[in-house]
Structure 1
């Protein structure tokens, strides 16, 4: 198990359990994640109707606890701790006390109502000032204020504890925010094994055995050697059979180079192949000149300017006027405000007539330009339509709270998007209008809506509406229009998702179809926050798990004063990146962007770089390796065993 950090007074806190409170599938998912990935003892507080789903999934406390304090996972041989299920309508102080939240290591409040989570968080902080809180809130601004308030309350309750060593931290997350990176990675690179660090999406990519003469791409680093080299298009993991070596986590370079008959798992950045989004935006930040005036009008105005210059030069050559005076006379004639050249020479009269003709052509151009600019400003606040030549884009169905977050993430990556939304007052409509993203307003199940979104030239389809049937119907319609389009659809029911996936895979074996649940994608981020802010995420490798964490070098003799190569321990941990931001400017949660919005992680570290006490590093570690880093006594206990 992963040990908790020490308290501010230097004394280790007694080990506690995890309490998860919620009223939907995210609570059940999180309880399973804590038990299966982090091997934690969990108390799950859910309404009575949700407890039936937990029992159906084999999570009810009485079923698991009947085998004793822990049971053995028959697949992996590891010890699995029980989940105790308590039923309650709301997380009142009495309910939290009954769940022993006052002695727990962490508490997660996952109710769909922000106000319910806020009230429970305040009550939990009064019950236990040293309790780590993870709160689910969609309102970002309110969540930020709540996080600061609860952290200040913990600092007041525990005198002498500075903020840097604050163990009783509060983390506010949104399931939509945490699920968005995985949904984006599915649409771009067909994977959900992703970790978000400082705004960068990283994925664990499985690489088959390279053929003869092929040079494998090492990515950022090699995370594991697989036990099976067979590729499964369904996304199933390899299986350990008799005579097949088990997956080897964090192997050293010599082992990787000497092993040629096994596939590998490498860490790489998620990137998209295809055209980037053109730098054309209509937003409140300003309107480009190309949008104000059309190309034809610009060419016509250029012709007028050329004619004026030609007349000015001609006047200078054929008359006694100097260039400045000749230009002035030409402009006066152009705007018909000069006296008729009755007493002047024939040359001057001809030039005046020509200038007048050019002025007659200028008047309608000025009127047309004014009308075009007025029309552009009037339509700046309106929704854009998909351009006719658009291709290689992602069609996003649904602009609710999840769709809006995914849209923002896609635009941060400069990926062209076309949105489809039935409700013109949906959450993401204002965001799409502000970003200048094309939107088709209409029911996706109606004829012509997907055609208007140019799905026949799209690279991927993300069906993220709140209706399973709508997402499925849109997927089937898209398959008819373009059979090989990559599809990721959001489905709530697991059994229904399994049946849909198998059917679509059988009907369209050449196409990629993935079903995703927001609660399933968000649970790892919430679980990492419950283990501490240093946990960035987790990636499964067959039946094993790799954890990603951000740790300060100071206080860890395994890192301090050592080079990157010396700090690496095969099978336990590996330094991946260095946080280049100063200690005062570091973001406490590297799963999100830094304070200034710019990435601060350096991934291409020289093997001879010496780690200093003031540094902070990102590591990949096994469960046992991270436990040893966070709890030095774990090393001695392992040695005695």
Structure 2
């Protein structure tokens, strides 16, 4: 890295990112934000190795004040996507060689935006965090597929007996919220990283509802059609059927002839018959009047159903449902969680207080049940049938709302699985211990490692959330004069921190997925490494040349206990 790092924003992601760069990578960071006293400014200002520069606008003057012309990387992680793009264009004009990392929730637009810059990564924190929320809601590891050097890796349980295990990933049996990562020996891990070898598998099969098409159609019709109009139509139809039988008896007609006469009455072609007796005449009149009323009743029911389906969009939960997942909050993160659950075939009920939320149009377009209301009120949660659901995922942007909705859900169903989105890590830990809520996650916590890795100019292969922790897969080159040059490959493998998945010798295009532990590393070698946030920082520090390493790290590596 040829210069310092710049982070723009006072968001939770900006705080997590600055902390990651300063404490994990030991980098000098300058953060540009509007005020040290607002939002996450006070927390950012207290971070070590971090300088704060106050600027109300990300203009050329602000970037010159922090010497952005010499920065090696600049991260734009503010809430305004337009502002992030505008600021990135300014930085490129001042420093064409700087690496840009832009936060954007619109990933399709982001892929087009990145082509406008020389060296740019466009990342979505919501997209990175959503798989973790989905995994927590299902109580299983998400089907995390990562394409690495021509192979597809995925996370699986050892009990599923995957055929090609690379290494043990974590032991989650001790504590769901605090798993033991990269245990030694790796056979003790119940969660593993494996290579997809075209073996048929469906890790989420047990989560898919087994409903027939007929039962699904019946349920949907029951929810769409107006109950009162249908009751009227059924009553009139019953009168007509009974009238047909009585007419056959009173007038001494055969059943087929009675049906014929009633069908004519239904068509409005009633033919008076003076020779009929009094009871038969009365029956014919009643049937005729019921027939006249049936046609508009059925028409009204059909028209009402069509209008309500088009205007209201999602189905209203009038009938009890069970086995579903309730997602509270349809913002950027909630939208992605709902979309992934829906794609996996898991029944979802959405709860949102604001009808203008970004995820509401998606729910209506997909015909998903949607409850508009305050999720902190038990009446709203009852409307979403929390009492019979499988899990509740609260992903609004407010910690208190998420916590209150989670606790209220527990009141309605004591054993319901609750997944909270909480920024405050200390609060998350205390909630886990005191309220028996096993899983709580912060979007910025899950996304920050990938943003930091992108700023450090390494290939971002993927992130793997495990409980409340995050693991990284990175491509690490061995530099000349680095600590690792000349050392055996086994030195990189540190229990609980890092493990080499594959070795690319001298920068060659092919990787060895079963390298010898005694192989001596040389400059130009590339390592595909699976590591914790701490582990990836240590591996990087030992793989770079001495001139790039901070003095504190050089002293640490040269010490006898290093």
Q: TM-score, normalised by structure 2?
A: 0.64
Unaligned regions of 5+ residues in structure 1, if any?
Answer: 1-13, 62-82, 155-167, 208-215, 240-245, 249-255, 281-286, 308-317, 319-329, 341-356, 506-511, 574-617, 633-640
Secondary structure of residue in 2 paired with 1:171: strand
Match of 1:28 in 2: 15
Aligned match of 1:386 in 309, 314, 317?
317
Within the alignment, does 1:217 sit opposite 2:145 as a pair? no
Structure with greater proportional helix content: 2
Once residues 62 and 349 of structure 2 are traced to their aligned partners in structure 1, the CA distance between those partners, rounded to angstroms, is 46
- Structure 1 residues 290, 468: CA separation in 2 closer, same or farther (over 3 Å shift)? closer
2:209 aligned partner:
276
Cα displacement (A) at 1:464: 1.9
Distance in 1, matches of 2:474 and 2:13, equals 22
The yes-or-no answer on 1:514 pairing with 2:413 is no
CA distance in 2, matches of 1:121, 1:202: 33
Aligned positions of 1:348-387 closer than 5 A: 366-380=295-309, 381-382=311-312, 383-386=314-317
**Matched position secondary structure for 2:359:** helix
Residue 68 (structure 2) pairs with residue 101 (structure 1):
yes
Match of 1:48 in 2: 36
Distance in structure 1 (CA, Å) of the matches to 2:190 and 2:4: 35
Q: Using CA pairs below 8 Å that are at least 6 residues apart, which structure has the higher relative contact order?
A: 1
Give the deviation of 1:519 after TM superposition: 1.4
> Are the equivalent residues in 2 in contact too, given 1:396–1:418 (CA < 8 A)?
yes
- Aligned partners of 1:37 and 1:130: how far apart in 2? 24
1:374–1:38 distance in 2 versus 1, CA, 3 Å: farther
Counterpart-to-counterpart distance in 1, 2:9 and 2:341: 29
1:537 aligned onto 2:462: yes
Counterparts of 1:100-139 in structure 2, within 5 Å, are 100-138=67-105
* CA drift at 1:556: 7.7
Match of 1:439 among 358, 364, 370: 370
Residue in structure 2 matched with residue 313 of structure 1 by the alignment: none
Deviation of 1:130 (Å): 3.1
SS, match of residue 407 in structure 1: helix
Q: CA deviation at 1:108?
A: 0.9
Residue number in structure 2 paired with 1:464: 395
Structure 1 residues 195-594: aligned runs within 5 Å:
204=155, 216-219=159-162, 221-225=164-168, 231-238=173-180, 247=183, 262-263=188-189, 265-267=191-193, 271=204, 273-276=206-209, 335=267, 366-380=295-309, 381-382=311-312, 383-386=314-317, 388-505=319-436, 512-531=437-456, 534-539=459-464, 546-547=472-473, 560=509, 566-569=512-515
Q: Provide the C-alpha distance between the structure 2 equivalents of 1:293 and 1:34, rounded to a whole number of angstroms.
A: 58
Compute the displacement of 1:557 (Å).
Answer: 7.0
Residues 424-474 of structure 1, C-alpha deviations (whole Å, 9 max, x = no match): 333333322222111222222334222221111111111223332222222
Q: 2:440 and 2:177 mapped to 1: Cα distance?
A: 12
SS in 2 for 1:276: coil
Aligned with 1:48: secondary structure?
coil
Deviation per residue, 1:37-83 (Å, 9 max, x gap): 66655443344234531354xx222xxxxxxxxxxxxxxxxxxxxx5
Measured at CA, do residues 274 and 546 of structure 1 come closer, stay the same or move farther in structure 2, by a change above 3 Å? closer
The change in CA–CA distance for 1:204 and 1:290 in structure 2 (over 3 A counts) is closer
Listed as ranges, the matches of 1:29-178 within 5 Å are 29-34=16-21, 42-46=29-33, 47-49=35-37, 50-56=40-46, 59-61=47-49, 83-138=50-105, 143-144=109-110, 148=112, 151-152=115-116, 154=117, 168-178=118-128
Counterparts of 1:567 and 1:172 in 2: how far apart (Å)?
A: 29
- The residue number in structure 2 matching 1:179 is 129
SS in 2 for 1:406: helix
Q: Please, what TM-score do these two structures have when normalized by structure 1?
A: 0.57
Q: Are the equivalent residues in 2 in contact too, given 1:455–1:481 (CA < 8 A)?
A: yes
Alignment deviations for residues 537-568 of structure 1 (CA, whole Å, 9 cap, x no partner): 234889995415699x9x987775x6x8x554
Partners of 2:296 and 2:508 in 1: CA distance: 71
